[in-house]
């Protein structure tokens, strides 16, 4: 079972200083979240936790890979994950109020009575943030190894027929812009 408890860290029992935790995350991890637009995920998460007096510094290093659907041709596109995220966890008497007020997204408050860090949601968030924004085969690899070449050919033809690439239409658009002002 992929229990969320596997992602709870009993930090009260940790000595001051740094501690490392490693996780391998696959598609099963995401089942309890909303449906994802990626699949075949094998993500490696290395968490370095620096326990200080009254706060903790967390560094999540995300690596691994997953597959998305290419925005251009619809084929399966493998992507590498590679990013890291820092988080400061502070103890507070009123963590909910503090989290509401805190403007720094890298600072998070937990109750002074809390004994565990629940990191599943952070892992979820950081893996999602590690996915490159551009989910398509690059232009220069037009029809690269993972692309659907037939779809690309068709898109190229459509692109050529677009009015905006026709100089006559471009001229007319200029007038339209003037009219709007
Ligand atoms: Zn593609």
Contact residues for 161 (Cβ-Cβ < 8 A; gap 6+): none
Element (H, E) at 108: strand 107-111
- Model confidence at 108: pLDDT above 80: yes
Q: Domain ranges in the chain? A: 2-147
For residues 173-181, average pLDDT: 53
Ligand 1 center to 123 CA (angstroms): 28
Ligand 1 center to 133 CA (angstroms): 14
Give the tens place of pLDDT for each residue, 30-68: 999 988 999 999 999 999 999 999 899 999 999 999 999
The rounded distance, in Å, linking the Cα atoms of 164 and 181 is: 20
Please give the pLDDT value at position 171: 57
Please give the pLDDT value at position 80: 92
131 DSSP 8-state letter: S
Give the tens place of pLDDT for each residue, 122-163: 999 999 999 988 888 766 655 567 778 888 788 888 888 766
Q: What is the rounded average pLDDT for all residues in the chain?
A: 87
* More confident: 146 or 168: 146
Ligand 1 center to 35 CA (angstroms): 22
Ligand 1 center to 24 CA (angstroms): 28
């Amino acid at each position: 079972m992929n229990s969320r408890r596997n992602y709870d860290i009993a930090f009260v029992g940790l000595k001051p200083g740094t501690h490392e935790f490693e996780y391998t995350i696959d598609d099963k991890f995401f089942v309890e979240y909303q449906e994802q637009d990626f699949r075949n995920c094998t993500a490696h998460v290395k968490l370095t936790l620096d326990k200080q007096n009254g706060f903790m510094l967390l560094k999540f290093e995300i690596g691994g890979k997953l597959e998305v659907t290419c925005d251009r041709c619809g084929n399966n596109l493998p992507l590498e994950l590679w990013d890291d995220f820092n988080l400061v966890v502070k103890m507070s008497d009123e963590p909910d109020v503090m989290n509401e007020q805190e403007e720094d997204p890298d600072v998070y408050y937990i109750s002074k009575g809390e004994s565990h860090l629940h990191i599943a949601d952070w892992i979820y968030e950081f893996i999602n943030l590690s996915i490159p924004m551009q989910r398509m085969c690059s232009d220069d690899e037009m029809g690269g190894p993972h692309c659907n070449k037939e779809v690309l050919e068709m898109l190229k033809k459509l692109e050529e027929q677009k009015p905006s690439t026709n100089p006559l239409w471009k001229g007319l658009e200029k007038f339209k812009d003037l009219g709007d002002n």
